[in-house]
Amino acid sequence: MTRPTTVLEIRRLVVGYGKVDAVRGVDLTLEDRQIAALLGPSGCGKTTLLRAIAGFERPASGSVWLSGEAVSDNGTWLEPERRHVGMVFQDGALFPHLTVFENVIYGVRGRPRARDRAVEVLGQVRLGELGHRFPDQLSGGQQQRVALARALAPRPRIILLDEPFANLDASLRARVRQEVRSILESAGIAAILVTHDQEEALSFADEIMVMMGGKIRQVGSPEEVYHQPVSPKVARFLGNGHLVPCRVTSGRFHSSLGEATCRAEDGPGRVFLRPEDLTLRRWSQGAGAAGTVVARRFFGHDVLDTVQLADGQTIEVRSLSSTTVPVGSPVRLALRERTYRVFSTV
């Protein structure tokens, strides 16, 4: 049936709240040690899906298999506490009445060498010296590391992370994210991160599962879903850009903003161009769609110019911040060469 290396397998899962189905037929598979992100806008059903895996929601139909064992299937239902699923909550949900050490040992109490295990995982998250503290004496990042240690302690089959970085300061978020990622890697455990933040998903996971409207729309590597989105909706959700009409002829598309390689059959279509797919050149310096820079936003590492084309529409273009094109300059746009995805016009 399931190969031994498959940690999680979900088939045609439907989870409903009353009349509304939050999860409407989801299939997905996760291999051992794989770190995936379940990415989608709020209300897309991703948290419900995660809670169904953990056993906090009872599906209407479909099945959930963990390491080859059916935990939720027709007539089969395993309580959350018997699934061996580690969970890290948005706010950490550390038990405020227990110390850090007591929190971590909570899931392994009564097992042989429980203390050793607690010390070990606290070491893994590099908080070994804070075991005596109470959760409210820790910073937000430390709290999330304790939450992770607590989830790891019973050696679960998989770790589920429910928006764990959402409550952290922006400055802290990227660092904690990388710490968590490397802890998961060194623990050698499969994990699913639920998030609505594209940047977070893309930088954290090996595999992105894009979920919208209760269904998984696309599964793939971060590069794949970012650059080869399956639909304009998915494309838009992953980042800004412009949906431009084009015509494909023998493996290349042609649009008002330029032409490039694509994988599509000949005929009319639409192509999604991101700001970094475009380059700016001074008016005098070559061919391409002509326009004028009307606004410029500086981000340090790069710069976002707003260009107004001759036909009135505005296009955003991302460049390295070292390129300087003053506002008001006449410019020409060009397309970077890569393989684009062209959507049918229907």
Partner 1 sequence: MVTGTSLAVPGAWARRPSAAVCTAVAASLTALLANVPLVYIFVRAVEAGVERYADLVFSAQTWWLTSRSLLLVLGVLGLALPVAVTLAWLVTRTDLPGRRVLAVVAALPLVFPSYVAALAWVSVWGPRGLAQKALAPLGVELLPAWAYGYPGAWLVLSLFTYPYAYLLVVAALRSVDPAAEEAARSLGKKRWVVFFTTVLPQLKAAIFSGSLLIALYTLSDFGAVSIVRFNTFTLSIYNAYQGLFDRSTAASLATVLVAVTIVLIATEGWLSSRLRPWRRKPTRPPRRVRLGRWKPLALTGVFALLTVNLVTPLVVIVFWAARALALGNPVGAAAEAAVRSLGVAGVTAVVAVLLSLPVSIWSVRGGSRLAGLAQRASYSGYALPGLVIALALVFFATRLTPALYQTATLLVFAYVVRFLPEAISATTASLRALAPGFEEAARSLGNGSWAVLRTVTLPLIRPGLLAGGGLVFLTTMKELPATLILRPTGFDTLSVRVWTAASEGIYSQAALPSLILVLVAAVPVFFLIVRPVLMERS
- CB 111, min distance to partner 1, A: 10
- CB 250, min distance to partner 1, A: 54
Residue closer to partner 1 by CB (options 29, 90) is: 90
Beta bridge partners of 302: 320
CB-based burial label for 66 (10 Å; 0-12, 13-18, 19+): buried
Residue 277 identity: D
Q: Where does this chain bind partner 1 (CB under 8 A)?
A: 51, 54-58, 77, 79-87, 89-91, 93-97, 106-107, 147, 150-151, 153-154
Pair of tokens at residue 106: 């909570």
Residue closer to partner 1 by CB (options 140, 154) is: 154
- CB 169, min distance to partner 1, A: 14
Q: How far is CA 221 from CA 26, 191, 234, in A?
A: 19, 15, 14
Residue closer to partner 1 by CB (options 85, 234) is: 85
Q: Coil, helix or strand for 227?
A: helix
Strands of the sheet with 76-77, listed across from one edge: 20-31, 6-17, 61-66, 69-73, 76-77
Residue closer to partner 1 by CB (options 114, 230) is: 114
- The dihedral built from the CA positions of residue 71, 72, 78 and 83, taken in this order, carries a sign that is positive
- CB 113, min distance to partner 1, A: 16
Residue closer to partner 1 by CB (options 21, 302) is: 21
- CB 85, min distance to partner 1, A: 6
Residue closer to partner 1 by CB (options 64, 342) is: 64
Q: Phi-psi bin for 167: left (phi > 0), alpha (psi -120 to 50), beta? A: alpha
Which helix (H) or strand (E) is 315 found in, with range? strand 314-320
Q: Are 169 and 139 spatial neighbours (Cβ–Cβ below 8 Å)?
A: no
Q: Show the CA angle centred on residue 113, arms to residues 108 and 116, nearest 5°.
A: 90
Residue closer to partner 1 by CB (options 87, 262) is: 87
- CB 164, min distance to partner 1, A: 12
Place of tokens 């326009």: 291
- CB 301, min distance to partner 1, A: 32
- CB 141, min distance to partner 1, A: 18
Cα separation of 206 and 225, whole Å? 11
Cα separation of 152 and 314, whole Å? 49
Q: How far is CA 104 from CA 116, 177, 245, in A?
A: 11, 20, 55
Residue closer to partner 1 by CB (options 147, 238) is: 147
Place of tokens 């971060």: 222
